[in-house]
Amino acid sequence: MMIVMRDGSSDEQVQTVIDKLHEVGAEAHLSRGEFKTIIGAIGDRERISLIPFEAMDGVDSVVPIMKPYKLVSREFRQEFSVVKVGPTEFGGESFVVIAGPCAVESEEQMVATAKAARDAGAGMLRGGAFKPRTSPYSFQGMGEEGLKLLALAREETGLPVVTEVVDVRHVDLVASYADMLQIGARNMQNFLLLAEVGMQEKPVMLKRGLSNTIEEMLMAAEYVVRGGNAGVILCERGIRTFETATRNTLDLSCVPLVKELSHLPIIVDPSHATGKHELIAPLSKGALAVGADGIMIEIHPDPRAALCDGPQSLTLEEYALLMDELRSLAPALGRKM
Ligand code: PEP
Ligand code: MN
């Protein structure tokens, strides 16, 4: 449930409520919005309901949260959250583009791609160092060497970097290099991994699972936020359907729906959703139009030679062209780029 504080309630009054919750073994999650201060109470419902909150100084009302996810719901927090990654902000007015190769392959590839990404206006750089591959015989990523090249690319360009963490044993290592931790589609319901990144300071990009509902994605995000890490960005990356013409089916309706249900930012990954480079531009524009907070796209200096996901990667030139198109569209949709 939520304890809604009166306008102008003091820090002391807020602390008294939090102390009461702790006394009955409940968790207290404080949300201080511009207009409202709300304390989310999570724990034994019966024990919490015995506390006479309404009689306490500074308390306005007590409201149950009806959704199964609590902290990520818009019931808990009406204002949209803004997640900052270095100088880049997700969830504000700006439409943010994350660009980079599927996998880090070499210093030359990474630095050239990073410079092109920055020059055309990307707000962040991507690149996989640990790759979750369907086949154990496919390229698995460069591991820590790849993380070092991402850090180098950041140094060269100033762009913050996001990279996937596939295993709880790697969380500290990946967090020591990356500015944002990516949880891939295949790990969206790896609850131990979610709890682990929930204890990190670095923001987390959580990709929708291949066969997961929107509610399941929000429940997964709840694991991370509940652990104390409020910096979560969701990512719609296509879901499995009967359609085989595309790698997955991009569920663009997920974006406005998530905006109704949750305060978390959400971006779209048209690369993994479609598997086809020729569909990236139209669906990126679609993502902008439906109100996504950004996109993540795969780009490569020579997609035909890419070690991973070449067919869905834009060349650096195609990417720059798309950025120009998005920049001209954004103002018409009330967005900045
Ligand atoms: C990726 O973005 O590198 C990736 C592997 O995507 P997904 O987890 O969505 O398949
Ligand atoms: Mn990929």
Q: Is the CB of 272 under 6 A from ligand 1?
A: yes
The protein residue with its alpha carbon nearest to ligand 1, atom 5, reads 184
Q: Which ligand is nearest to the CA of 295?
A: 1
Q: Is the CB of 128 under 6 A from ligand 1?
A: yes
Helices 316-329 & 280-289 angle (0-180, nearest 10):
30
- Which residue spans within the chain are E strands per DSSP? 2-5, 27-32, 37-42, 59-63, 83-85, 88-90, 96-100, 124-126, 161-164, 180-183, 204-207, 232-236, 266-268, 294-298
Ligand 1, residue 207: give the atom nearest the CA.
9
Q: Is the CB of 247 under 6 A from ligand 1?
A: no
CB 116 within 8 A of CB 303: no
CB 189 within 8 A of CB 220: yes
The protein residue with its alpha carbon nearest to ligand 1, atom 4, reads 184
pLDDT in tens, 141-165: 999 999 999 999 999 999 999 999 9
* pLDDT of amino acid 36: 85
* pLDDT of amino acid 86: 96
16: CA distance to ligand 2 center in Å?
Answer: 49
Q: Which of 186, 205, 207, 217 to mutate to test ligand 1, by most ligand atoms within 8 A of the CB atom?
A: 207
Residues of the chain with pLDDT under 50: none
Chain Cα centroid distance, residue 168: 18
* pLDDT of amino acid 199: 97
- Which residues have CB atoms below 5 A from the ion given as ligand 2? 102, 309
Q: Closest Cα to residue 82, out of 191, 203, 192?
A: 203
Beta bridge partners of 314: 299
Domains of the chain listed by start with CATH number: 2-63 (3.30.70.1140), 83-333 (3.20.20.70)
137: CA distance to ligand 1 center in Å?
Answer: 18
* pLDDT of amino acid 85: 98
